[in-house]
Homo-oligomer: A and B are copies of this chain.
Amino acid sequence: MTAFSRSSLEELLKKRFFYAPSFQAYGGVAGFYDYGPPGCALQSNIIDLWRKHFVLEEEMLEMDGAIITLADVLKTSGHVDKFSDWMVKDVKTGDIFRADHLVENVIETRLDGDKQAGLMTENDATSQNDKKKKKGTVQAVKLDDATKAEYEEILAKANFNLQTNYEWELIFYIDNYTGKELGEIISKHNIKSPETGNDLTEPVEFNLMFESSIGPTGHLKGYLRPETAQGQFLNFKKFLEFNNDKMPFASASIGRSFRNEISPRSGLLRVREFTMAEIEHYVDPNNKKHARFDEVKDIKLSLLPRHIQSEGKTVPIELPIGEAVEKKIVDNETLGYFLARTHLFLTMLGIKYDRLRFRQHMPNEMAHYACDCWDAEIQSSYGWIECVGCADRSAYDLTVHTNRTKEKLIVRESLAEPLIYEKIVLEINKKIFGPKFRQNAKTVEDYLTNLNEEQLEALKKELEDGNGKTMVSCADGNQYEISSDFLTIQKQTITEHVREYIPNVIEPSFGIGRILYSLIEHVYWTREGDEQRAVLSFPPRVAPFKCLLVPLSNNPAFSELVRDLSSKLRKLHISIKVDDSSNSIGRRYSRNDELGTPFAITIDFQSVQDGTVTLRERDSTKQIREKTDTILQVLEDLVEEDVTWEEALIKYKQI
């Protein structure tokens, strides 16, 4: 097999209109893509399988929410304040760069240069340095040992080498570098604007959300959602009710989200507008077991846990997920369950097992509230890219929205046996209390009701010591006299029949575009000895089109058969492409292979005579010949993946 060439693949994707930059005729703008017919169909098939694999399989509560989101919501979630990158400007041209990326690139290039210089003789090095500087070329310059060590430390601290700059879920990291620190590195290591060599400004924060205003007043601010998660959290109460108050359960959402990247790059991998599919699984924080964990426990995953990474290694270990959870490598069953289900989903799509790994976040990558977080990373020519994030977000999101809105996003659980305990309780006689304190009543009441048991006991003692009277200092800075005339403090037996808690959220979040692109790389190959004959070996269920329908030539004798067969295929909901162009049959098959269409039915002169047609399979190029109805039946089974091509070859007449 010939070596992978990204440029050949990109050429194919462009020619067959899998996707293309948006508004090309208008000069385009980075980070926006239009999916053409095969890309769009591929995307729908991935989404359709996702829905069957996750939503239908587990009766998840799918919702479809607003993209434009009130600013207040994203203020509460933390996005308005924290969802930003640091940018620097070229002081003369005004060109803008993402500061962390720039530092990473420059330092990596310098370290590469050092390595090359080490490999060259003195003379080579001089002559190379004399050459005119070309953009992007590595300059072989030897670094002194101290600088080299410092560069390596900068990269290590930033975790750049682990591709965490492709972060996906929006939990807010403890930043590896603050803007100030990035500014210091830039100035200390003399980092300049890459094209012009000009100085750079200090890093400034840039929020990554697209902003707009709602309604005609111009005063109501909204953002395009950066994730679908917040819309799901806001509906938690409605979901719980819909689910007959039963826990645990999951909500899910598939839709477009937006991030105003400073410098979009790497094709579909870092874009400004993308389709994501997110699950929010709500669990009791005291019980993160999963009822169906047994069904997946023997599935082997390729895991890159924290302890391996901290040794500086990147070779994953292979473990059944059951064992990983047992050994506490993965925090809990529910998280483990979703890692395994994600593995099944991705490999079913056609992602290669040996190019898929689950990498655990390092403690400094995770939000303070997250318990554990694993990324499904898929290897492509861009490296190991995070395509799915599986995070345990704890109770963070539901808590902040509850606190902000006073809509309690909680679960009330009837206890099988009531919880009985004793508690020091304060009771206020409002009839006396109110008139006595008048406008200060609320201040005093707030003070009293906020006392904990220990404080109440102390107050009780003070009252007893002071003959039923004592002074307290309230929040307004004043002292007030408290009297046992209007309050009692005593031990009571409390019987609770209901337990209240805020659920924890386990969130598997899928980047559909990233998965789609990685999948294309995994299924792309060229036929032995002919680099021009490219094939995309999508599994039938994922393939954009299922079947090509080709008459041998445009002889009118074939038209009726084509019409009849297309109509029958449509009734079976099998998506087809009819190609009755005048190109040679080989040429038409090749086009088919490039679209990843797994099967082709050919109508020839024999078809007109005896009602048989041939069915060709894309990867093997082998064909069988049977009566039309038989072919339709086997095609249906092949497309549903109920029958493999190998099985069909045994059963039917190969030609």
Q: Does A458 contact B (CB under 8 A)?
A: no
Q: Does A407 contact B (CB under 8 A)?
A: yes
Distance to closest chain B CB from A66 (angstroms): 4
Distance to closest chain B CB from A577 (angstroms): 7
As a 0/1 sequence over residues 182 to 210 of chain A, the CB contacts with chain B under 8 angstroms (1 = contact) are: 00000000000000000000000010001
Report whether B65 and A22 are in contact in the complex, using a CB–CB cutoff of 8 Å. yes
Report whether A65 and B35 are in contact in the complex, using a CB–CB cutoff of 8 Å. yes
Report whether B242 and A224 are in contact in the complex, using a CB–CB cutoff of 8 Å. no
Report whether A576 and B238 are in contact in the complex, using a CB–CB cutoff of 8 Å. no
Alpha-carbon distance between A67 and B214 when the two chains are bound, in angstroms: 17
> Across the interface, which residues of B come within 8 angstroms of A267, CB to CB?
none
Distance to closest chain B CB from A200 (angstroms): 14
> Across the interface, which residues of B come within 8 angstroms of A407, CB to CB?
24-25
Which stretch (A26-34, A374-382, A613-621) binds chain B? A26-34
Report whether B215 and A570 are in contact in the complex, using a CB–CB cutoff of 8 Å. no
Taking a contact as CB atoms closer than 8 A, the residue among B16, B231, B260 that contacts A242 in the complex is B16
Distance to closest chain B CB from A12 (angstroms): 13
Taking a contact as CB atoms closer than 8 A, the residue among B26, B272, B405 that contacts A70 in the complex is B26
A34 in contact with B581 given A242-B17, A262-B216, A576-B59 (CB within 8 Å): no
- Chain B minimum-CB-distance residue to A581: B244
Which stretch (A38-46, A150-158, A524-532) binds chain B? A38-46
Alpha-carbon distance between A242 and B579 when the two chains are bound, in angstroms: 11
Report whether B260 and A214 are in contact in the complex, using a CB–CB cutoff of 8 Å. yes
Q: Which secondary structure dominates where chain A touches chain B?
A: mixed
Taking a contact as CB atoms closer than 8 A, the residue among B51, B238, B258, B577 that contacts A17 in the complex is B238
Report whether B231 and A22 are in contact in the complex, using a CB–CB cutoff of 8 Å. yes
Alpha-carbon distance between A605 and B29 when the two chains are bound, in angstroms: 65
Q: Does A144 contact B (CB under 8 A)?
A: no
As a 0/1 sequence over residues 563 to 595 of chain A, the CB contacts with chain B under 8 angstroms (1 = contact) are: 000000010010111110100000000000000
Distance to closest chain B CB from A339 (angstroms): 21
Instruction: Give the copy number.
Output: 2
Distance to closest chain B CB from A456 (angstroms): 33
A29 in contact with B63 given A68-B272, A234-B23, A235-B20 (CB within 8 Å): no
Distance to closest chain B CB from A151 (angstroms): 27
A273 in contact with B68 given A17-B238, A29-B215, A231-B22 (CB within 8 Å): yes
> Across the interface, which residues of B come within 8 angstroms of A206, CB to CB?
216
Alpha-carbon distance between A34 and B214 when the two chains are bound, in angstroms: 17
Among A92-124, those with CB < 8 Å from B are: 94, 96
Report whether B23 and A35 are in contact in the complex, using a CB–CB cutoff of 8 Å. no
Q: Does A217 contact B (CB under 8 A)?
A: yes
As a 0/1 sequence over residues 223 to 251 of chain A, the CB contacts with chain B under 8 angstroms (1 = contact) are: 01000000100110011011010100000
Q: Does A304 contact B (CB under 8 A)?
A: no
> Across the interface, which residues of B come within 8 angstroms of A79, CB to CB?
none
Q: Does A159 contact B (CB under 8 A)?
A: no
Q: Does A211 contact B (CB under 8 A)?
A: yes
- Chain B minimum-CB-distance residue to A233: B25
> Across the interface, which residues of B come within 8 angstroms of A30, CB to CB?
215
Taking a contact as CB atoms closer than 8 A, the residue among B33, B63, B262, B575 that contacts A215 in the complex is B262
Alpha-carbon distance between A20 and B234 when the two chains are bound, in angstroms: 11
